Amino acid sequence: MSSKKKGKVVYALYRGETNLGDGTAAELAKRLNKNRNYIPTLACKRTHRLAENNPNRLMAIKIGYTTDEL
């Protein structure tokens, strides 16, 4: 198993088909005035399943990693 860090995860935040923004969990949480731990929960499979029934539900998608030095 590799111990090399990849960087911070970058998320795309959506409400329905509308992209609300891209960024790290901390950046998006600051925009929404939420806790940083809230964003990864929006990227889980359960949230995506619930979004099928409610198209206006807030959800996030992991789109990559930052290349900044940690």
What is the per-residue pLDDT across 51-65, written as a single tens digit (0 to 9) for each? 889 989 999 999 999
Range of the domain at 46: 9-63
pLDDT of residue 55: 85
Mean pLDDT, range 11-30, rounded to an integer: 94
Give the list of residues 6+ apart from residue 8 with CB closer than 8 angstroms, or none.
Answer: 24, 25, 26, 65, 66, 68, 70
The full length of the chain comes to: 70
Give the list of residues 6+ apart from residue 27 with CB closer than 8 angstroms, or none.
Answer: 21
Mean pLDDT, range 36-62, rounded to an integer: 92
Judge contact between 34 and 42, C-beta under 8 A.
Answer: no
Q: What is the pTM of this model?
A: 0.81
Provide the mean pLDDT of the chain.
Answer: 87
**35 or 67, which is more confident?**
35
69 found inside a domain: no
24 found inside a domain: yes
Mean pLDDT, range 16-23, rounded to an integer: 93
- Count of structural domains within the chain: 1
50 found inside a domain: yes
4 found inside a domain: no
2 found inside a domain: no
